[in-house]
Chains A and B, each alone.
Chain A
């Protein structure tokens, strides 16, 4: 008797929950041509890494390994110190001038995109991992293994003075790296 009552109550509760958990935007869909997408297929395509570290893969890479990779695959576009260009500035502050880089104004004159900087502006280190893995190097995107992406991320952080040269980067310590761009952030949305 008691069990029966409990079963009924849980059905009522389930019904109530389903009413109240209706999605905010849900109206009945007029279309139904989409096909089910399996979890396996999702896991193959969901490459976005979030600032809290979710979706970071297993693996690791050291600053030292990153340096070697950087010199063979990145330096020709980003420069030895990550500041010379012509491609995006990876290290140092943003803006026209920098005491640590007396030639900056000449570099900007040639490549205006060097006004901005990964190390100066990006608020989350997870984005370095995400973008390197999906898009770099430009001539062979998605060709790096996860361990190599950890190593390159570690080296870019090291070029910015944000981590020690002995660091071995992984999913646990990557999210703990504090980027200077985070404190300066203000969000314009919603307007």
Chain B
């Protein structure tokens, strides 16, 4: 039986104090019911009578490259429909509501490709550095693999993640994958770019670097030298294996905390300059239109943001009331998450969630809070604050800054409405 009396509330709406919840023993106790062994004569009993078939047959051999269980085949990326069907521009969303922890499996990492995915032969791939440098240099894969490497866990988020909530007049009935599927977390390993830039010898007048990919569209972005000399990585590995083609094989630029589009995939050329080039994406698609009508350019950092993934849009809570663990993800391109507050009564009261596992700079951070739903309609919210005191704005606060059709860098507080029948819906509050 559940000893409900000892658990203190953390806020109204059924949010529970995690410490008293853990001490109460509910978290540990589960209903054990040992079936009585069927009667049989001494010595004739067999243990296979109640065992599942897979416990009574030998298993099969393993394979060279493992795949998920047949029963998890439905967990997959989906292609967003709102890209022009005549182009090779495609957006693949990760099922973030199925993820636990802070690492996205490589096959499920989100991917946005403006000119398709090139199939690059690593033996013929070259990284070139030129422009305002003392010695223009080129590197092949063989020599790059000999360089000192670092590993770091970081999120990657497309500037357009959650765009429907930014521009749609009404809250669309969409799930987490549709609304938040352009974010993922991974451990990236590779060479600090500053090693290569130092080897080439940066001239004092250098301020920007035009970074270019080897794809059909030669995707390019102008990146401040300051960022590249700070924490930029030429990533060769993702979660312990070489990059997948859709993530930039054989190498990509990784700019921790900066909008996905600047993390140039299939990295091939770095032109060191004293001025930005105003490439295609920094001229239009990846600029922000402000409320004043001004066009804001080079807004690189992804701001503090969070979303409850369990439960989330279009799911249905299986029991009409009772215990659930609310869980979600928070992140900030400026640094570490300091805390995440959760409300189960549409923002009237808030409680601090538990930050579960690793809390790293510019990384997905998992938060949880125990919740007992009383079965009535309510709305769940989460609000993240980072170590610099940056707090997620409400949707209205965010909207006031931008023109009605500006959709990049949306980080408004997400509201999930819980209907009394348990169905969860995207909602504006």
Could you mark each residue 104-145 of chain A with 1 if its beta carbon is under 8 Å from any beta carbon of chain B, else 0? 000000011101111001111011001100110010011000
**Contact yes or no, B293 A31, CB < 8 A:** no
A48/B210 contact (C-beta < 8 A), A127-B279, A186-B295 known: yes
Q: Is B271 an interface residue (CB 8 A)?
A: yes
Q: Is B68 an interface residue (CB 8 A)?
A: no
**Contact yes or no, B195 A50, CB < 8 A:** no
Q: How many residue pairs between the two chains, A and B, have CB atoms under 8 Å in the bound complex?
A: 206
Q: Is B201 an interface residue (CB 8 A)?
A: yes
A34/B202 contact (C-beta < 8 A), A113-B84, A126-B278, A127-B278 known: no
CA distance in complex: A182, B224 (Å): 20
In residues 17-33 of chain A, which contact B (Cβ within 8 Å)? 21-33
Q: How far is the CB of A126 from chain B (nearest CB, A)?
A: 7
**Contact yes or no, A124 B278, CB < 8 A:** yes
In residues 154-173 of chain B, which contact A (Cβ within 8 Å)? 163, 167
Name the contact of B87 in the complex, choosing from A21, A24, A51, A86 (C-beta under 8 A). A86
**Contact yes or no, B137 A34, CB < 8 A:** yes
A34/B198 contact (C-beta < 8 A), A122-B284, A188-B297 known: no
Contacts of B196 in A (CB 8 A): 31, 34
A134/B217 contact (C-beta < 8 A), A34-B196, A121-B287, A122-B284 known: yes
**Contact yes or no, B199 A124, CB < 8 A:** no
Among listed B143-151, B180-188, B349-357, B378-386, interface-contacting one: B143-151
Sorting the interface of chain B by its residue count into under 10, 10 to 19, 20 to 34 or 35 or more gives 35 or more
**Contact yes or no, B84 A111, CB < 8 A:** yes
Sorting the interface of chain A by its residue count into under 10, 10 to 19, 20 to 34 or 35 or more gives 35 or more
Contacts of B284 in A (CB 8 A): 88, 116-118, 121-122
Name the contact of B278 in the complex, choosing from A21, A51, A87, A96 (C-beta under 8 A). A51
CA distance in complex: A25, B129 (Å): 16
Q: Is B376 an interface residue (CB 8 A)?
A: no
A49/B277 contact (C-beta < 8 A), A86-B85, A117-B284 known: yes
Contacts of B295 in A (CB 8 A): 121, 123, 181, 184-186
Name the contact of B283 in the complex, choosing from A33, A37, A95, A127 (C-beta under 8 A). A127
Among listed B58-66, B96-104, B298-306, B339-347, interface-contacting one: B298-306
CA distance in complex: A2, B111 (Å): 69
**Contact yes or no, B86 A77, CB < 8 A:** yes
**Contact yes or no, B275 A30, CB < 8 A:** no
**Contact yes or no, B290 A34, CB < 8 A:** no
Contacts of A16 in B (CB 8 A): none
Q: Is B220 an interface residue (CB 8 A)?
A: yes
Contacts of B273 in A (CB 8 A): 50
A187/B84 contact (C-beta < 8 A), A23-B203, A123-B283 known: no
Report which residue of B135, B147, B195, B280 has the largest number of chain A beta carbons within 10 angstroms of its beta carbon. Answer: B280
- Supplied contacts A96-B405, A115-B405, A116-B405, 9 more A-B pairs, CB within 8 Å: A35-B143, A95-B289, A111-B84, A131-B280, A134-B220, A135-B280, A141-B115, A141-B217, A188-B296
Interface residues of B (CB under 8 A from A): 82-88, 115, 128-130, 134-140, 143-144, 146-148, 163, 167, 194-204, 206, 210, 212, 216-218, 220, 224-226, 229, 269, 271, 273, 275, 277-280, 283-285, 287-290, 293-301, 403-405, 407
What would 9 A/B residue contacts be, using CB atoms closer than 8 Å? A23-B201, A23-B204, A46-B269, A50-B273, A85-B84, A111-B84, A121-B289, A130-B280, A190-B224
